[in-house]
Every structure is written in structure tokens, then in C-alpha cells.
Amino acid sequence: MGAKKVFTLAEVSEHNHNKDCWLIIGGKVYDVTKFLEDHPGGDDVLLSATGKDATDDFEDIGHSSSARAMLDEFLVGDIDSSTIPANTKYTPPKQPHYNQDKTPEFLVKLLQFLVPLIILGVAVAIRFYTKQSA
């Protein structure tokens, strides 16, 4: 293969269906259309990895060395890494404490303390009562 073609993320993202499926793995672009039917995880797994850098998805599975060698036959070029957005860490928004029935907070904490004590007291009373009866 002569000079490798360099693709942008937008160009690769256009190849996102079962008749034309390209993936980005390790800075390389692969046309895996012919492999969709043979993929052990099914074609949905590959199709869900289109339009983004699928390197983490590929590495997380722990592919065998033969699977990695197979990539060579599907190579079509390189990805222009400047077109791939930087990974941003997801931080969930702060949620207010959920208190469905609007019970005062001090009462909730008091009940969390008292209920186990009451259960323990009942258990001790039952034990004491059954011991005297026997």
C-alpha cells in the first residue's frame, strides 16, 4: 500500500451502517463491513462503535492476537487525530437529597437510630419470655 490516506472523524462517521462500516482503532481507520457477519459479538457491537474513537471499546474486550492481526486486512488509512474531540470525564449533576414524603431530616435520622434498637429490644424480650416459659 502506498501513502496512507488520512481521514477526518466526519468522513469516517459517514460509514455507519451494515452495508458500509468503518471503525477508528488506535489511530487507524478500518473498513470492517466484510467482517460484520462473522464478528463473534454480532454486527450491533461494531455498528455501535462507529462515529467515534473505538480504541477503548476494542481494548476493553481483550481481543486475541489473531483478532489484532486480522485488523491489517481491513486497514484503509489513518485518522486525523485533531478531528477527534478530547475525552471529557462525565460528572453527574448534584442531586438534592430525595425525601418523598417531606419528613423532617432530624426525624429520619432519629428513626434510623430507634428502629434497630426497638427490634433488638423485642428480640431480647422474646428470648427472655421463651426461656422463662420452658
Which strands make up the sheet holding 20-25, listed edge to edge?
Answer: 5-7, 75-79, 28-31, 20-25, 16-17
pTM above 0.75, yes or no: no
Q: What is the CA radius of gyration of the chain?
A: 29
Tell me the pLDDT tens digit for each residue of 59-118.
888 888 888 888 999 999 999 988 888 775 667 777 666 656 666 778 888 889 999 999
C-beta of residue 50 within 8 angstroms of C-beta of residue 22: yes
CATH class of 5-83: alpha beta
Q: What share of the chain is helix, strand, coil (3-state, %, to 5)?
A: 50, 15, 35
pLDDT beyond 60 at 3 = no
